Structure 1
Amino acid sequence: MGKRAAVTSGGRAYTPAKTISASYQDLHYRYGLQTAVNAAFGGMLGLRKPWQELELNLILKWRSPFNKENWERWGQPFG
């Protein structure tokens, strides 16, 4: 259910939970499967995890043309 789509809010892309849960329930109903939808909200949303910081540092260090962060420098490959 954490899938991201093109809708943006405050610079972050997200898929509305209502749309996802409705699709989930519809598909299960169609095939006669039971569903249980629960919502939980994480207090750490938007914070970087330690591995993300390491990943970004390595991307910036090696400047690979295949990372979006470096397209400004090298141009978009195969674009």
Structure 2
Amino acid sequence: MFFLQDRFIYSASDLAIAVGCEYQSLYLLDIKLGLRPKPHFAPDEMLERSAELGDVHERRILAELEEKYGPTMRRPTGA
């Protein structure tokens, strides 16, 4: 979930979390709005590596789609 100008945007992952547990979704929203502190977790090397590989995959697929269909509209980074 992120803010885009004055609108709050839910991602597909956010919706999946909400379907699984609406309280977890509300908890994450509270963190995003600054109503709760963000919890601290120990680093997870496997999770970090999986995220890196996922990012590489998504960039490759996006590049293929943009080559085929043209450029896409990008959301602001850091959101």
Pick 1 or 2: higher relative contact order, CA cutoff 8 A, min separation 6: 2
Bigger radius of gyration among the two: 1
When you count helix as a share of all residues, which structure comes out higher? Answer: 2
TM-score, normalising length from structure 1? 0.31
